[in-house]
Chain A
């Protein structure tokens, strides 16, 4: 149980285009989902926290107009990278949690984005 999927697993796009990444909890309902960014050989940096039915909370320094997050249902959150630039190339990972803070976060397999 507790499986989180991400789609696509990798994507290549042209600079200036928008890319949508989906995060789904397959066998549980996630009240909270998190989006992380991981540069090569670096740690995971939290970008935003997404609660179902409400606006996402973005971390300091993360542009909310560039990284649009929608958590429309208890099993799906989407991250849209708008007007992508080469510096947005990274590994994006989502995680999902059932309840409150002490509950375990389950991570998706990640999406590799390459912007040309």
Chain B
């Protein structure tokens, strides 16, 4: 069975700083996808970034980038120049192509301080 572990329940950083959220996962699958989702206070789930396991290049989306270490089964999210609007719950998630279901970690609550 696949598992996703987020070891940081809560984090706080000052606005404009860079913050890294950790995520590790466990799987025996070779073909899968990894995601970071943001859930702001509105509770709307928003896809932040996606990484295909077969791609060695780390995904980036503007201020958001990942450090994907496949051998270590690590998938961290870096937020650069953090903004107040980045305050939210962040979920790391895994999906096996074979299984077709998204498995979410327990989340990291991120507070961006003014």
**Complex: A110 Cα to B43 Cα, angstroms:** 7
Query: Which residues 8-50 of A have a CB within 8 angstroms of B?
Result: 34, 42-46, 49
Is the CB–CB distance between A43 and B107 below 8 Å? yes
- Given that A101-B95, A102-B33, A104-B50 are known contacts, is A46 also in contact with B101, CB under 8 Å in the complex? yes
Q: Interface extent on A, as a size class?
A: 10 to 19
Is the CB–CB distance between B106 and A110 below 8 Å? no
Residues of B within 8 A of A43 (CB): 91, 104-107
Residues of A within 8 A of B (CB): 34, 42-46, 49, 91, 93, 95, 100-102, 104-105, 107, 109-110
Residues of B within 8 A of A (CB): 33, 37, 42-47, 50, 52, 91, 95, 97, 100-107
- Given that A43-B91, A44-B91 are known contacts, is A101 also in contact with B45, CB under 8 Å in the complex? no
Is the CB–CB distance between A109 and B107 below 8 Å? no
Is the CB–CB distance between A105 and B102 below 8 Å? yes
**Complex: A100 Cα to B97 Cα, angstroms:** 9
A46: nearest chain-B partner, CB-CB: B101
Residues of A within 8 A of B104 (CB): 43-45
Shortest CB–CB separation between residue B98 and chain A, in angstroms? 8
Is the CB–CB distance between B45 and A93 below 8 Å? yes
Is the CB–CB distance between B45 and A107 below 8 Å? yes
**Complex: A105 Cα to B43 Cα, angstroms:** 16
- Given that A49-B101, A102-B33 are known contacts, is A42 also in contact with B106, CB under 8 Å in the complex? yes
A-B residue pairs in contact (CB < 8 Å), sample of 28: A34-B101, A42-B106, A42-B107, A43-B91, A43-B104, A43-B105, A43-B106, A44-B91, A45-B104, A46-B102, A46-B103, A49-B100, A49-B101, A91-B43, A100-B100, A101-B33, A101-B95, A101-B100, A102-B33, A102-B52, A104-B47, A104-B50, A105-B102, A107-B37, A107-B44, A107-B45, A109-B42, A110-B43
**Complex: A91 Cα to B45 Cα, angstroms:** 12
